[in-house]
Structure 1
Amino acid sequence: MRMNEVQFDDSAPVDGYGPGFFRVGSEVFNGAVLLLPSGAKGWAGFEDTGALVAAASEVDVLLLGTGAEIAHPPVALRQAVEAAGMGLEVMASPAACRTYNVLLAEGRRVGVAMLPV
């Protein structure tokens, strides 16, 4: 088996997560988090569509982690993100962490908004 070291550009991958927190680039974020090419910051949750729409110039696809289980996002959130020209992929937060790291390693223009598990 051949092992390859993953190299990330300027964005930090998700290093870990647990009940109520995410660790991104060795920094711990309690609660929901938004990771974009411009950096990581806290996110106010499903009602905070403004932060997601503002990311339209940075990302092509936005992953949405809905917590421990996959759930339907509010219709208003989906409509706002899609109207801004971004694709929206909804999944449980653990899957969103893994998918984000893979796409980030591929150099994709990806962002992720996640609710904690």
Structure 2
Amino acid sequence: MAPASGLEMTDAYYPGHDPIDFYGNGGFRFGEMSHQGAILFLPSGVHRWDVETVNALTTDHFEKLLAESRDIELLILGTGNLIVPLAQSLANHIRQAGIKLDIMDTGAAVRTLNILLSEDRAVAAALFPVS
């Protein structure tokens, strides 16, 4: 909370499952909205994902994902401009929840997500922005 201005920071959240219309310039556009930074695309909707790089990821960054694991068959991890491997311990953490993991660059991840959404598949995505 920022007492001087009266502004309260909330968890940025969009409850829809609209395809991603645009990615680039450090953000994403979906459902007539836009977001700068990383996002988690979950069954409950699209959430702000407060992480800067794949190498900064910890198990805490996947709490929301794992809370919805019963409704997720596949997690697509879009790692930015290049494919960046996920630490084996984190990959195992996700797989132990019964979620398959596919890692790709963000462009391929967005395209794959949109196709799987059109097929009504149980998919989630964790997407890092590209410039």
Question: Which TM-score tier does this pair reach, normalised by the shorter chain?
Answer: 0.7 to 0.9
Distance in 1 separating the partners of 2:81 and 2:25: 9
- Equivalenced residues, count: 108
- Correspondence for 1:40: 46
Partner residue in 1 for 2:72: 59
Greater Cα radius of gyration, structure 1 or 2: 2
2:85 is the alignment partner of 1:85 = no
Alignment RMSD:
1.3
Aligned to 1:50: 63
Name the aligned partner's letter for residue 97 of structure 2. A
**What amino acid sits opposite 2:26 in the alignment?**
G
RCO higher in structure (CA 8 A, sep ≥6):
1
Instruction: Identify if the C-alpha distance between structure 1 residues 106 and 29 changes in structure 2 by more than 3 Å, giving closer, same or farther.
Output: same
TM-score (norm: length of structure 1) = 0.86
Percent of pairs with identical residues: 39
Structure 2 gaps, min length 5: 1-15, 52-56
Task: Confirm or deny: 8 A CA contact 1:60 1:86 kept in the other structure.
Answer: yes
- Alpha-carbon distance, 1:28 to partner: 0.8
Q: 2:47 is aligned with what amino acid?
A: K
* Partner Cα distance (1:78, 1:44) in 2: 19
By how many angstroms is 1:52 displaced?
Answer: 2.4
Listed as ranges, the gaps of 5+ residues in structure 1 are 1-9
Amino acid at match of 1:50: E
Deviation for aligned residue 1:75: 2.0
For the residue of structure 2 that corresponds to 1:111, the secondary structure is strand
The residue number in structure 1 matching 2:23 is 17
For 1:44, what is the secondary structure of its paired residue?
Answer: coil
Whole-angstrom CA distance in 1 between matches of 2:90 and 2:32:
29
